[in-house]
Structure 1
Amino acid sequence: MTVIDVFNHNVPAESDFGYSQAIKSGDLIHVSGQLSLDEAGAFLHANDFAAQLKQTYANMDKVLDHYGVTRKQIVSQVLYAVDLQQNAAAMLEGNLAYFGDHRPVSTVLGITELTFPGQAIEISFVVDTKLPA
């Protein structure tokens, strides 16, 4: 029997929309799109891609910390970016800084809009807990 471990940031959107931030099922952790939210669930840094990316990575780290895993165990990520060409350099720089020499598979999608006005980035990812930390 597979044990399912659910994690939430306990922000209003989770109950309003009906989703979890992450679910660990077996050895994998599937993580919903993380974005630039504060502890109360308020959106931060409208129209500031670099600041949003920094906060998004901080929120990703909260999920990793909950499960006791590290960035090196992230096996895939999907990045959704508004104005992809305009923000590409900042996204590449931020991604390299976040992962260092670790290279998960990545898909980058340029899109027209995200949930919040001024939101420029959202990242979902999968973690394999069996990989070395």
Structure 2
Amino acid sequence: MATIDVFHYGVPAESDFGYAQAIRSGELIHVSGQLSLDETGEFRHADDFTAQLGQTHANLDRVLAHYGATRNQVVSQTLYVVDLRRNAAATAEGNLAYFGDHRPASTVLGVTELTFPGQVVEISAVVDMRLPA
């Protein structure tokens, strides 16, 4: 039987929306959409794509660290980007900076809006712990 490990930051949005930041089932970790929340659960950097992407990646790193995983074990990601045409280059630049030589499967979706006013990016991911760190 697979071991299940659920990870929460302990921020109000988790109980308000009824979700976990991530859940590990066996060797796979499914990471919920990460966004620009600070340690207290407050949304930060409204309408600043670059700052939000940096905070979002930092939050993804926080989830990975909980499981002892690294960016090299991310096998797929989905990015939701408001005003994708305007933010496409910054999306690509941030993705390359975050992953370096690692290339996970990626889907980028242009969306009209996200949960918080001024939120312009959200990233979900799947991590495979069988891959080398």
Structure 2 match to 1:113: 113
Matched residues in 2 for 1:68 and 1:114: separation?
Answer: 29
Specify the alignment match of 2:68 in structure 1: 68
Aligned residues: 133
The SS at the match of 1:5 is strand
In structure 2, distance between residues paired with 1:23 and 1:11: 16
Normalization by structure 2: what TM-score? 0.99
Query: Which position in structure 1 is the counterpart of 2:132?
Result: 132
Number of the residue aligned with 2:40: 40
Residues 75-97 of structure 1: CA distance to partner in whole angstroms, max 9, x if unpaired? 00000000000001111000000
SS of residue paired to 2:55:
helix
Equivalent residue number for residue 56 of structure 1? 56
| Structure 2 gap segments, 5+ residues each | none
1:2 Cα offset (Å) = 1.2
RMSD between aligned residues? 0.4
Partner of 2:42, secondary structure, is coil
Matched residue SS, 1:97: helix
Name stretches of at least 5 consecutive residues in structure 1 with no aligned partner.
Answer: none
Find the counterpart in structure 2 of residue 6 from structure 1: 6
Partner of 1:91: 91
SS of the residue corresponding to residue 19 of structure 1 reads coil
Q: Which amino acid aligns with 1:82?
A: V
Question: In structure 1, how many angstroms separate the alpha carbons of the residues matched to 2:11 and 2:114?
Answer: 18
Question: 2:14 aligns to what SS in structure 1?
Answer: helix
In 2, the alpha carbon distance for the partners of 1:40 and 1:60 equals 16
Identity %: 74
Per-residue deviation, 1:45:
0.2
**Paired letter, 1:32:** S
Q: Distance in 2 between matches of 1:69 and 1:49?
A: 26
In the alignment, the residues of structure 1 paired with residue 101 and residue 69 of structure 2 have an alpha-carbon distance, to the nearest angstrom, of 17
CA distance in 1 between counterparts of 2:33 and 2:112 reads: 16
